């Protein structure tokens, strides 16, 4: 189980607009990020709402780049931890740069829960405003963010406890509004487990769903744990859903965000290096993987030469030579001028025992290689060795 707790300190750049987002004439940049705070009147909620928008490091320098957006409930205090974790993933090519939009609360229980609580163990009479709050996202907040910042169509909603319930509600009420839903210790005990019941009903009507859900729980027991386990069992039955779940023993309810944030984003974002587990018997799965990756990252990412060769070498290590050769051929088709692509295919044939084909591919590699190629001697030595082996037959 991966658990990372990281602290980072971020300077704020603040401005406000009473009606809509607007650029400030006064901008302050920290060493890492720009942050803008907007206050505007929501017509849907009939009140002023405040959000903080954190822009990626490259936002100013790469003017044509677009970014996925993480909508984080419960305010800007949640930005530093998520930002630090995602940055670590970015450094390992496991996550794109993101825009983070943190929404401050006015009436948290009203906004987060879709039903009014009637169960005595909680605050009776609270809740019931989630539908209107989701309309605020759909009709006002997301359009304003898209209008004023360079976003692309990949939105994440993340929240804890009551916010986790809202993230799950958003999945059911409008499954296409967000492409990923993160719920840290969602308070599914609320109102006799109303969220669990609605989830079961939703799954019964939607046998398959292309989305992502991460949930977790800490040391909570009793009714909370019973209803959470019921929720988990329901979600993992939904086909097409990328579903991940963590249970942290000894972690309090208030620490489940810190305990789960790494796994939530580690499992969400696809790494640029396609894992061998994503490769099927059909090399078309490589295209599908990088299409999904491109959709997440907001940029066209073609299957990289090195990444695909790594898949092929992984197959040769497990002695799946026929599959390895198919992968190497696929890579050569995409990178016909790559010395390394020819060399990898040669290696695949040699491991399979086809020395003649191995020699042919190595000769092709040498045709396009020159003396500046760092492994030119390896190519020449391998060619000589393969020729010697053929001459013995």
Tokens of 224: 């909370």
Residue whose pair of structure tokens reads 């019964």 in the numeric block: 204
- Residues 365, 367, 373, 378, Cα dihedral to 10°: 50
What number of CA atoms fall less than 13 Å from residue 371's CA on the CB side?
0
With contact defined as beta carbons under 8 Å apart, do 161 and 185 qualify? yes
| Gap between the Cα atoms of 157 and 111, Å rounded | 14
**DSSP structural state of residue 278:** G
pLDDT of residue 313: 98
Kindly list the distances between the CA atom of residue 316 and the CA atoms of 273, 319, 349, 390, in Å, as whole numbers in the listed order: 17, 5, 10, 22
Q: Please give the backbone phi and psi of residue 356, each rounded to the nearest 5 degrees, phi first.
A: -65, -45
**What's the pTM?**
0.88
Give the pLDDT score at 28: 40
Please give the Cα distance from 26 to 66 (Å, whole number): 23
- Give me the pLDDT at residue 14, please: 33
In this prediction, residue 393 carries a pLDDT of 72
In tens digits, the chain (393 residues) has pLDDT values of 444 333 333 333 333 333 466 543 234 444 579 999 999 999 999 999 999 999 999 999 999 999 999 999 999 999 999 999 999 999 999 999 999 999 999 999 999 999 999 999 889 999 999 999 999 999 999 999 999 999 999 999 999 999 999 999 999 999 999 999 999 999 999 999 999 999 999 999 998 999 999 999 999 999 999 999 999 999 999 999 999 999 999 999 999 999 999 999 999 999 999 999 999 999 999 999 999 999 999 999 999 999 999 999 999 999 999 999 999 999 999 999 999 999 999 999 999 999 999 999 999 999 999 989 999 999 999 999 999 999 987
Q: Is the dihedral of CA 187, 113, 100, 138 positive or negative?
A: positive
Across the chain, the runs of DSSP E, i.e. the strands, are: 34-42, 47-55, 67-72, 99-103, 151-160, 180-184, 208-217, 239-247
């Amino acid at each position: 189980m991966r658990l990372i707790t990281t602290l980072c300190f971020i300077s704020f750049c603040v401005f406000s607009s009473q009606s809509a987002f607007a650029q400030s004439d006064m901008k302050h940049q920290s060493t890492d990020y720009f942050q803008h705070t907007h206050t505007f009147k929501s017509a849907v909620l009939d009140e002023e709402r405040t959000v903080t928008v954190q822009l990626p490091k490259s936002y100013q320098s790469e003017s044509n780049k677009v970014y996925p957006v993480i909508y984080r409930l419960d305010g800007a205090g949640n930005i530093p931890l998520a930002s630090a974790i995602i940055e670590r993933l970015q450094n390992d090519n496991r996550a794109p740069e993101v825009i983070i939009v943190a929404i401050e609360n006015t009436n948290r229980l009203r906004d987060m829960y879709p039903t009014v609580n009637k169960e005595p163990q909680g605050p009776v009479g609270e809740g019931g405003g989630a539908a209107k709050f989701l309309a605020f996202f759909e009709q006002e907040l997301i359009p304003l963010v898209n209008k004023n910042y360079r976003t692309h169509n990949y939105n994440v909603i993340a929240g804890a406890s009551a916010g986790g319930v809202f993230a799950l509600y958003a999945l059911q009420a409008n499954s296409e509004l967000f492409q990923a839903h993160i719920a840290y210790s969602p308070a599914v005990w609320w109102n006799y487990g109303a969220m669990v019941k609605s989830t079961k009903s939703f799954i019964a009507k939607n046998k398959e769903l292309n989305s992502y859900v991460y949930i977790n729980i800490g040391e909570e027991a009793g009714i909370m744990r019973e209803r959470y386990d019921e929720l988990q069992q329901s979600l993992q039955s939904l086909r097409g859903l990328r579903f991940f779940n963590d249970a942290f023993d000894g972690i309090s309810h208030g620490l489940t965000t810190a305990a789960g944030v790494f796994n939530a984003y580690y499992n969400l974002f696809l790494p640029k290096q396609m894992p061998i587990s994503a490769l099927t018997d059909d090399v078309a799965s490589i295209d599908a993987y990088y299409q999904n990756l491109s959709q997440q990252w907001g940029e066209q990412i073609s299957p990289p030469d090195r990444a695909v060769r790594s898949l092929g070498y992984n197959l040769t290590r497990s002695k799946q030579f026929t599959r390895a050769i198919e992968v190497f051929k696929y890579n050569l088709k995409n990178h016909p001028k790559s010395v390394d692509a020819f060399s990898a295919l040669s290696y695949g044939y040699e491991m399979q025992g086809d020395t003649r084909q191995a020699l042919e591919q190595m000769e092709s590699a040498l045709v396009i290689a020159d003396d500046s190629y760092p492994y030119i001697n390896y190519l020449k030595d391998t060619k000589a060795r393969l020729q010697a082996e053929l001459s013995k037959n």
